[in-house]
Structure 1
Amino acid sequence: MKKTNAVRELDRHKINYNLREYKVDENDLGAIHVALETGLDLEIIFKTLSLLNEKKELIIACIPGGDSIDLKKLAKLAKCKKVEMLHLKDLTSYTGYIRGGCSPIGIKKKHTTFMHESALKHEKIVLSGGMRGLQVEIAPQDLIDYLNITVGDIIL
């Protein structure tokens, strides 16, 4: 298995994790597909969203796979006037990752990260390992501590 930036970073900082591979469907890169392929509950599969604030600074949000981001709640938590989704064409230049393989771990540009509070209800959560077809299973508190994530209610 190819080591991604996310996996190398976890190894370098000695953070416990497990990797889960799944079959990629280029026509369906969503969390529901990941849940079906891995047999995991959609509640523990977190998707990584990339956004920009009014200053064009990168913001990362991790939310449960079946939910939608609430831009107003995120902006308030981030102490911004507004946030908007990053254009897909800019994803790789901002994060170093591609759609369907964006991880909050190993992003190449400075950013702040936010996570929905439901992550704390689970012993482990699963999120992108930095490439399509690869998920990282990790204790949410380990991820929060490592990335200095702000936790709050950021979904609709």
Structure 2
Amino acid sequence: MAQRKQASGGTPATRELTAAGIPFTEHTYTHDSRAASFGLEAADELDVDPARVFKTLVLALDDTGLGVAILPVNDRVDPKAAARLLGAKKATLADPAVAERSSGYVVGGISPFGQKRRLPTALDASAEAHASILVSGGRRGFDVEVTPADLVRVLSARTGDLTRTTSQVGR
């Protein structure tokens, strides 16, 4: 992957990656405001297997505050697994306004990189099956491609199972 900087100075995400010396590739597409799923739209528009495109969710963690879960766009987070991995008793999706205020990004463009403040972060273990994954670059229609190892290193992320298996869906 070649490291590229945007002439405009980039997003907080690309600035953090550049400052950390992490190689990344930018991927842009025209976002359709009618898209039902930001992540699946990215996979489709960029012609990338959805298993390699990861969404960033801000979670409310019982009494410990907020945390971040990064998982494939076609999967659902398992709140119990996320809580365990993030060192909490309970995890739920944070209110969108709270997620935006905490991260500095809008929903659908929340990047795990360059957030206003560093939160405990967990990456789904399925990322390790790929040489690189795509995550939001900090705005809708813009993803960055990085290696899972670089993501873990920059964010001090914990890795583990964050998703529900097919047999758990509906429980």
TM-score range, shorter chain: over 0.9
Aligned counterpart in structure 2 of residue 137 of structure 1, from 145, 165, 171:
145
Find the counterpart in structure 2 of residue 13 from structure 1.
Answer: 20
Which of residues 51, 67, 76 in structure 2 aligns to 1:68?
A: 76
Query: 1:50, CA displacement in angstroms?
Result: 0.5
In the alignment, is the contact (CA less than 8 A) between 1:58 and 1:110 conserved in 2? no
Q: Which stretch of the first structure deviates more once superposed, 85-94 or 128-137?
A: 85-94
Q: Is the 8 A contact 1:6 1:129 kept in 2?
A: yes
User: Which moved further from structure 2: 24-33 or 60-69?
Assistant: 24-33
Hey, what does 1:4 align to over in structure 2?
11
Displacement of 1:22 after TM fit?
0.8
Alignment of 1:115-126 (within 5 A): 115-126=123-134
Q: 1:58 Cα deviation (Å)?
A: 1.5
Structure 1 residue runs without a partner (length 5+): none
C-alpha separation between the residues in 2 aligned to 1:99 and 1:148? 23
Shift of 1:55: 1.8
Instruction: For 2:130 and 2:113, locate their aligned partners in 1 and report how far apart those are by CA, in whole Å.
Output: 19
Q: TM-score, normalised by structure 1?
A: 0.96
Query: What is the TM-score when the length of structure 2 is the normalising length?
Result: 0.87
Q: Residue 35 of structure 1: SS of its match in structure 2?
A: helix
SS in structure 2 of the partner of residue 74 of structure 1 = helix
Match of residue 98 from structure 2: 90
Residue identity (%): 33
User: How many pairs are equivalent?
Assistant: 156
CA change 1:110–1:35 in 2 (3 A) is closer
Stretches (4+) displaced over 6 A: none
Amino acid at match of 2:21: K
SS in 1 for 2:63: coil
CA distance in 1 between counterparts of 2:77 and 2:21 reads 31
Cα distance between partner residues in 1 of 2:19 and 2:153: 15
Question: Is 1:24 paired with 2:31?
Answer: yes
C-alpha RMSD of matched pairs (Å): 1.2
TM-superposed deviation, 1:56: 5.1
Q: Which has the larger radius of gyration?
A: 2
Counterpart code for 1:17: F
